[in-house]
Amino acid sequence: MSILSDNDIKQELGINILIYPFTQDNLKGASYNLTASKYAWSLSTKQSIYNSLQDKIIIAPGDTALIETNETVWVSKKITGTYHSRVTQVSQGTGHIGTTLDPNYIGPSLISLPNHSSNPVELIPETTNFVTLAFQYLHTESSREHGNTHGRRDILGEVGIQTNREESNALDKPYMSNKDLLLLKLEECKDYQSIKSEREKKANQNNTEVQNKNKKILSLKLYAAFIGLILVLGLLTGYLQANQKQLGQKNWYAGTNYTINALMIVISSALTALITVDLNRKI
């Protein structure tokens, strides 16, 4: 497996990787930073730890938070991923994050974030980057389905956290479990539109370069063919002229000379036209 760089991620975005909402500022050299949503719960109390008055998630000292990412992610069977801690968060006393993104998964990600410090840890929903996702190519496509529910609602139920109607509706949006709908949402993002436009522009440039290269190769082959024919016809003309006394009385002699001269004119004209076309193309 090999880790995807930012250029790789841009190339795969909208094809083998979907991220919504997508923000180019969160794209790093070889990873993408995910932000917290306001859907977060305490493992101790089983209650929401989102403070709507302050618009913050507050993780109490010694507690562990279960937080849904604001981003919904899908990857194809060619891609896998790993989640990593961010130094900014760990420096505040949170525990390390280390889990995996299975091929063909779709949905928000449920991240467990323990607070080992003696102070509350605060996250601003849709703003605070709190986990880094690194993508990797697979040598062969995965043959197994991941089997995980989107947003890992199964885990919330296993630990005794019951989502209310608002939380359930927020985590059950159609695009969170449908790749085609998720792609439509991604295409709404201006940063993705910019990447897609630049990618298409580069592809067109590459196509133009390939076409020009093929034209150049064809021109070289034509030059070789025309020059070769001119040399052969020139040698034939020289041979016929040098042996005119012996061959001049032959029935085919005059016709052959005429044909050779005509061919010389046609091929020379074609060569001149080819040179003109190449000069105009370079100009």
pTM, two decimal places: 0.74
What percent of the residues of the chain are helix, what percent strand, and what percent coil, each to the nearest 5?
Answer: 45, 25, 30
- pLDDT tens-digit series, residues 30-62: 999 999 999 999 999 999 999 999 999 999 999
Distance CA 138, CA 79 (A): 6
Distance CA 270, CA 12 (A): 46
Q: Name the residue with higher pLDDT: 192 or 202.
A: 192
Q: What angle do CA 273, 276, 279 make, to 5 degrees?
A: 150
pLDDT above 60 (res 29): yes
Residue with tokens 């063919």: 225
Q: Phi then psi for 232, rounded to 5 degrees?
A: -65, -45
Provide the 3-class DSSP secondary structure of residue 173: coil
What amino acid is encoded at 196 in this protein?
A: K
β-pairing, 106-114 vs 2-3, is unpaired
Task: Work out the average pLDDT over 155-163.
Answer: 87
Distance CA 186, CA 184 (A): 5
pLDDT bin (cut points 50, 70, 90) of residue 158 is: confident
Specify which of 34-48, 129-143, 228-242 reaches the highest per-range mean pLDDT.
34-48
Distances (CA, A) of 250 to 59, 233, 241, 246, 257: 107, 19, 13, 8, 12
Res 147: pLDDT: 63
